[in-house]
Structure 1
């Protein structure tokens, strides 16, 4: 109950609009670029500074590692947009079944993204394998979509070939 007289509508409250978007990702290396892309798209037209991008990458990686395991873990990314700022929260979440989901980078599977990177840079599978520190057989499996890189390999792929496009 209010102690204000009837009809007094000034309650000393300030109501600010808040936009909240959230997404759950499978705890797999292929979800790392998807989670980053999700945040970048949620924040548009705001562009993250390099330090902020690095902090976001670290937070997503930490949550992914915490949720990873044989039980099909997941991590949640929530973006809250306030009138005077933004907040990004990354938490490892509950177990979720990810039946047949393939790793994706934006709207493309990881395999397609990697294939376009190699074509753009004019690299053979052998050259790509040497640069990434993996076998040619591993590159071939990634390009066919048979397997996806482990987190340590995904970090190396991004360090060598650049991060996936942000939208």
Structure 2
């Protein structure tokens, strides 16, 4: 940037207003709807596209699960609103993200693969984990994902997802 003003006294500097709102949530399943509401209220009157809403849900869920643990972790949601766009950042703990997903593989695909490798039926998996066959069926279809305590049980029984 030059110290000499452009014609009309303009220094060529563009100042863009940015609105930043942030909130920290405890890493527990009940925080998921609270975090989604926080983001939607921060973005009002803008609406998220369905794909953006789904991506937001997965980012919040992943951060919540990654932060969960015996030390009662937390995750942060930051919304930055620029004149020409919006940025939502979801981080757990010390600003790094991990996930119960394997790369881009959702929980349902991971669990299907585990059960296939071990030759387990839905009934056998339900019995080992301590949930209903209907719950296993929903997980395998991707209709729902396990609650935190169930996810911990799944990982204790079958091992956590591994990358690569």
- TM-score bracket relative to the smaller structure: 0.5 to 0.7
Displacement of 1:69: 0.3
Q: Report the counterpart of residue 151 of structure 1 in structure 2.
A: 148
1:7-46 paired onto structure 2 within 5 Å: 9-46=9-46
| Partner Cα distance (2:9, 2:22) in 1 | 34
Offset at 1:72? Answer: 1.0
TM-score (norm 2): 0.55
Q: Secondary structure at the match of 2:4?
A: coil
User: In 2, Cα distance between the equivalents of 1:70 and 1:32?
Assistant: 18
Q: Residue 76 in 1 paired to residue 73 in 2? A: no
Deviations 1:13-47 (A, max 9, x none): 10011100000000001101100010001001111
- Residue of structure 2 equivalent to 1:87: 87
Provide structure 2 residue ranges, at least 5 long, that are not aligned to the other structure.
95-131, 136-145, 151-164
Matched length: 104
- Superposed displacement of residue 151, structure 1: 3.4
Mapped to 1, the partners of 2:14 and 2:74 lie a distance apart of 36
Partner of 1:137: none
SS in 2 for 1:48: coil
Alpha-carbon spacing, 1:83–1:3, altered in 2? closer, same or farther (3 Å)? closer
Q: Which ranges of structure 1 fall in alignment gaps of 5 or more residues?
A: 95-129, 134-148, 154-167
- Once the two structures are superposed, residues 87-113 of structure 1 have per-residue CA deviations (whole angstroms, 9 ceiling, x without a partner) of 10000025xxxxxxxxxxxxxxxxxxx
Q: RMSD value over aligned CA atoms?
A: 3.0
Structure 1 Cα separation of the partners of residues 9 and 67 of structure 2:
48
- Asked if 1:66 is matched to 2:63, the reply is no
SS of the counterpart of 2:12? coil
Q: Output one character per residue of 1:138-159: Cα deviation in whole Å (capped at 9) or x when no partner.
A: xxxxxxxxxxx93377xxxxxx
Question: Highest relative contact order (Cα 8 Å, sep 6+), 1 or 2?
Answer: 1
> Tell me, what secondary structure is at the counterpart of 1:4?
coil
State the TM-score, normalizing by the size of structure 1: 0.54
Which deviations, in whole Å up to 9, do the C-alpha atoms of 1:112-137 show, x marking residues without a partner?
A: xxxxxxxxxxxxxxxxxx8x84xxxx
